[in-house]
Amino acid sequence: MEIEKSERLRTPMRSEIHSTLIVPRNHPQPVIRNPQSLRRALASWFHKAARDLPWRSTRDPYAILVSEIMLQQTQVATVIPFYERWLARFPDFASLATADESEVLSVWQGLGYYSRARNLHRAAKLVVEKHGGEMPRDPALIRALPGIGRYTAGAVASFAFDLPEPLVDANVARVLARQLNLHTPIDSTAGQAALWSIAGSLVPKEGARSFNGALMELGALVCTPRLPHCERCPIRKCCAAFANGTTASIPRKKPRRKQAELAEHCAWTVSHGRILLEHQTGKRWSGLWKLPSLPAAPDAAPLLAVEYPFTHHRVTLSVFAQPTPSPVRENLAWHPLASLAGVPLTAPHRRAIERLRGAIHLRGKS
């Protein structure tokens, strides 16, 4: 929440700043002076303020990997039920490795960004084939698995094995950028280099699990993107942005690319309690089902038009009533409307189908 005027924090005197940004002449990256005080203050706060999240109660590298993959571009509250459902069905690498892709996508359904599920499936197979079903401790070997980058490999190594690996996700980047009063865009090459350098200098040789968790938690709960709660921050005396009154403008990012407009025309073909769906084989939605594509918009009003984002695009999905095509293409199949919950549908098309079914049901009652 926004701080009332009477509660706003004064800008501290320079002598009160325990840790400030310094850039030595011959040093390519900024550093923080007296990181020990920052670690102590952060540890004390985390001990009291840490949320009780299910993946924090385990040291199982598989479960931690699942949580980290799910948390990519997805909020914690959304992830928790999916995480618990996933582990109930696929409790380890072996069970996931032997599953069919259709079942994997079905259990993942609702989280979106299905490439994450496919990569997790592929990673499980490689762990079983090359590492006997056990996650390797070496961060380099973890990073060699499909879909795992520098952050995720470090997170598994840190949270599962307590290895001193630095982590920079969106929350950590925001905290560190404000600590440094970093004016370089954090999504630029130079900005990323500065953040990873600082993260590497701060992570302790022992207790990395707790330190990295605390840094991420601070970004999630206190050092938030808008209206950061500086009055509750345990390391505000170490914060160069707070000292300079620039927390509202830090971190900076590169200008956003303008979204391109796309039109998607699809068919609504329903007969005898079944709906015709199209199986996807392309890179975008491989393995999923959607409403059948139409080459162009028919000369009629759509039953429904909805918008959804896709990378740097804004897509308008228009759905038109259509008869059964003749012949029915190989990638088309009938599915019972009553059983769609078990069909791995793309999220935008599932929402469109549910809205149309609801509208038709209401018209039938009137």
Hey, which residues are catalytic here? Answer: 68
Please give the Cα distance from 320 to 279 (Å, whole number): 18
Runs of H (alpha helix) within the chain: 35-49, 61-70, 76-89, 93-97, 101-108, 115-131, 139-143, 150-161, 170-180, 189-202, 208-221, 240-244, 347-365
Question: Which is nearest to 170 in space by CA: 247, 63, 71?
Answer: 71
Contact 317, 307 (CB under 8 A): yes
Question: Which is nearest to 305 in space by CA: 366, 363, 359, 365?
Answer: 359
Residue reference for tokens 């290895």: 163
Question: Tokens in use for 255?
Answer: 């200008």
Please give the Cα distance from 279 to 349 (Å, whole number): 12
Give, as one character, the DSSP assignment of residue 306. Answer: E
